Structure 1
Amino acid sequence: MEHRRLGRSGLHVPALSFGAGTFGGSGPLFGAWGDTGVDGARRMVDIALDAGMSMFDTADVYSDGASEEVLGAALKGRRDRALISTKAGLPVGEDANAAGASRHHLTRAVEAALRRLGTDYIDLFQLHAFDARTPVEETLSVLDDLVRAGKIRYTGASNYAGWQLQKSLDAADRLGRPRFAAHQVYYSLVGRDYEWELMPLGVDQGVGAVVWSPLGWGRLTGKIRRGGPVPEGSRLHETARFGPPVEDEALYRIVDVLDEVAAETGRTVPQIALNWLLRRPTVSSVIVGARDEHQLRQNLGALGWELDAAQVARLDRASAKTAPYPYYPYERQEGFARVNPPVVAAA
């Protein structure tokens, strides 16, 4: 397994990480992802660790904490071989303080996550969403305290807008607090908005991307084709409303090229979609989930080979969208691009 630095930090993470959202699944969203119990999770962890996929990602809101509990049980006796990434900040109750990034909530959230995971430290702790109600200085102060106490080792954010991430980084520099090493983001061939602002920010500020939903909420599994219905049993039937919309014709255009490249390489459509992501600037790790061993082994097959430049270019063209203002002049007008070249083009 290839390992990469997490942003500019000293931590090295595997190019592929395991998403434990399928563990203990319940409810309309997480139940559709999967409902792997402890025994099945142990087997998945066995396969992942044997392949060098040593980082496991979860969150307190995944099945109301059941994902963390199952992951902790599956890692029992081999915690030292794993990196645990978890998140907090989204609502976990109706109480006014049961959400956000305040000292009160984050202290309780970390203590609860440690109990569920059966560990005394979290390798990467990320804020699941920006909390506009809490001063960033308060948030950074409690994260610093938790790092100093040895309860978390590295910090990150998830789903931040560019200004929110930069505001946090600037405050960390000003106050001498730990900077976010990671930004957990949605990024895929059917969702390339990350490239417009967050990727250049990551390059400039040394923040590594940890990518979630790299197959576009199941759209890039190879099961959806032009002219055909969404297959019976696809999680899109239950989860599409939770994710960003994708126009049918845009999806079919991308899948057509994925099919062509699959025929040329002998690889599967998901493997090609994942391999494309692994080449992108700032990407430290791509989180892959799996309902069963077959899916996990298929995802691991995205490593150990590379698409050629022509294949990448075809996938880039098929998935390209016009950027919103103020980014589109840099794509379409030579003068703008000359003074500020696109990060992807320069890579």
Structure 2
Amino acid sequence: MTEDAAPVVTPPAGITTRWAPAISTAETRAIVGSPRAVRRRVGSSDLEVFPIALSGNVFGWTADSAESERVLDSYVARGGNFVDTADSYAGGRSEIILGNWLRARGARDDIVLATKVGKSADHPGVSARAITAAVEASLRRLRTDRIDLLYLHIDDPDVPFEETLLAVDELVRSGKVRYFGGSHHTGDRLIEARIASAQLGVARMVALQNHYNLVFRSEYEQGLAGIAATLSLGVMPRFALASGFLTGKYRSKTDLDRTRRAEVGRYLNRSGMRVLQALDVVAAEHDAPLATIALAWLLSKPDVVAPVVSASAADQVFDLVAAAEVNLTRSQLTALDRAGS
């Protein structure tokens, strides 16, 4: 999987009760009200999205159809409009669940729909034939006539970029894809793609989905950030919560027994603990969960449009979307930057 599953969380601090262990997102919304839905533009496109993208990577996996729909409903109720999935998630089941929800709610025109192709068992790769077949299959599962943002889920140097770009451009010209972006692409390959697009006179990438968070920074900050700025790419960080580590619930090896995410263990070191300590301080100052602050930190970075996060249950959504409302001070950002450096 490429995005984070959000943890089961407790209610926001200050909202407590002696007779119930938790409070639902709907109940919280009834108490604090619904915020104005903010929007950010994706790169040079005309796509306007909520600054937290909801990943469908758990749909059909850790979240069944009913719970997936509740998660989607909760996200939209909080102002969300940017849903991200892939043809490989749960063997295509994620797209089916999302497509059924879009049709049942009549919500297609209200959602910016992103999916990825390149990793499915049926249509692997980024050759012209694979991309065309994969998009057609995704459209059927999603029960729609268009994909707002299509990502190339892999980069295959053995397939000429010209072939890939011409295939995507044909899909754009036909109206089946509105915009596209890259994932798992190096900076050099992104530049190569832009040059090839200009030479061919075809659609160019407008977005980048990459691994970036408070404990995994160098790959993006020391290379991709400058290229994203130069190419005007909207950045959607994946693994935004470091597989759940940045929620603060994993602080010892004993805590790892509660997760199937083996990669969390890589952060259980002095550096990772320093980041959690800094998050603890800032979270207390905002009376907010650590996950909210970790996402707010990402949203403070240039060209970052919307971190991609997932929720296996509807009650997890509140803390994720709340990041869009948090304004970190300069001193708080400096403290987090130093802790994660």
Q: Using structure 1 for the length normalisation, give the TM-score.
A: 0.84
Which residue number in structure 2 is paired with residue 31 of structure 1? Answer: none
Residue of 50, 53, 56 corresponding to 2:80: 53
Which residue number in structure 2 is paired with residue 284 of structure 1? Answer: 305
Return the alpha-carbon distance in structure 1 between the equivalents of residues 114 and 205 of structure 2.
Answer: 13
Matches within 5 A, 1:156-167: 156-167=181-192
Residue of 148, 171, 174 corresponding to 1:123: 148
Structure 1 residue 91 displacement after superposition: 4.8
Residue of 103, 109, 114 corresponding to 2:139: 114
Conserved? CA contact 2:67–2:312, under 8 Å: no
Structure 1 residue 101 displacement after superposition: 1.0
Q: Does 1:18 align with 2:44?
A: no
Conserved? CA contact 1:101–1:134, under 8 Å: yes
- After superposition, the C-alpha distances for 1:199-247 in whole angstroms (9 at most, x for unaligned) are 110111101101111101111111022x56225432424x559xxx436
Residue of 149, 172, 178 corresponding to 1:153: 178
- After superposition, the C-alpha distances for 1:266-315 in whole angstroms (9 at most, x for unaligned) are 11111110110000011011112111112111112212121111111011
Return the alpha-carbon distance in structure 2 between the equivalents of residues 222 and 107 of structure 1.
Answer: 42
Conserved? CA contact 2:256–2:264, under 8 Å: no
RMSD: 1.5
Q: Does 1:64 align with 2:85?
A: no
- After superposition, the C-alpha distances for 1:30-83 in whole angstroms (9 at most, x for unaligned) are xxxx2x222222222221112221111000111111111111111112211111
- After superposition, the C-alpha distances for 1:160-211 in whole angstroms (9 at most, x for unaligned) are 1001111001111111111101001111001112111111101111011011
Give the letter for the 1:83 counterpart.
V
What SS does structure 2 have at the residue aligned with 1:283?
coil
Return the alpha-carbon distance in structure 1 between the equivalents of residues 97 and 112 of structure 2.
Answer: 15
Q: Does 1:74 align with 2:101?
A: yes
Matches within 5 A, 1:208-219: 208-219=234-245
Residue of 241, 245, 250 corresponding to 1:224: 250
What SS does structure 1 have at the residue aligned with 2:306?
strand
Conserved? CA contact 1:39–1:74, under 8 Å: no
Residue of 148, 152, 160 corresponding to 1:135: 160
Conserved? CA contact 1:223–1:231, under 8 Å: no
Give the letter for the 2:150 counterpart.
F
Return the alpha-carbon distance in structure 1 between the equivalents of residues 156 and 256 of structure 2.
Answer: 38
Q: Does 1:4 align with 2:33?
A: no
Matches within 5 A, 1:240-259: 240=264, 245-246=266-267, 248-259=269-280
Q: Does 1:37 align with 2:34?
A: no
Residue of 209, 215, 221 corresponding to 1:195: 221
**Percent identical across equivalent pairs?**
37
Gaps in structure 2 of 5+ consecutive residues: 1-36
Which residue number in structure 2 is paired with residue 175 of structure 1? Answer: 200
Conserved? CA contact 1:122–1:153, under 8 Å: yes
Deviates more, 1:41-50 or 1:304-313: 41-50
Conserved? CA contact 1:42–1:75, under 8 Å: no
Which residue number in structure 2 is paired with residue 295 of structure 1? Answer: 316
Deviates more, 1:42-51 or 1:99-108: 42-51
Which residue number in structure 2 is paired with residue 30 of structure 1? Answer: none
Q: Using structure 2 for the length normalisation, give the TM-score.
A: 0.85
Matched pairs, number: 302
What SS does structure 1 have at the residue aligned with 2:70?
helix
Return the alpha-carbon distance in structure 1 between the equivalents of residues 181 and 264 of structure 2.
Answer: 27
Return the alpha-carbon distance in structure 2 between the equivalents of residues 240 and 143 of structure 1.
Answer: 36
Whose relative contact order is higher, 1 or 2, with alpha carbons under 8 Å and at least 6 apart? Answer: 2
Counterparts in 2 of 1:240 and 1:268: CA distance versus 1, 3 Å = closer
Deviates more, 1:7-16 or 1:156-165: 7-16
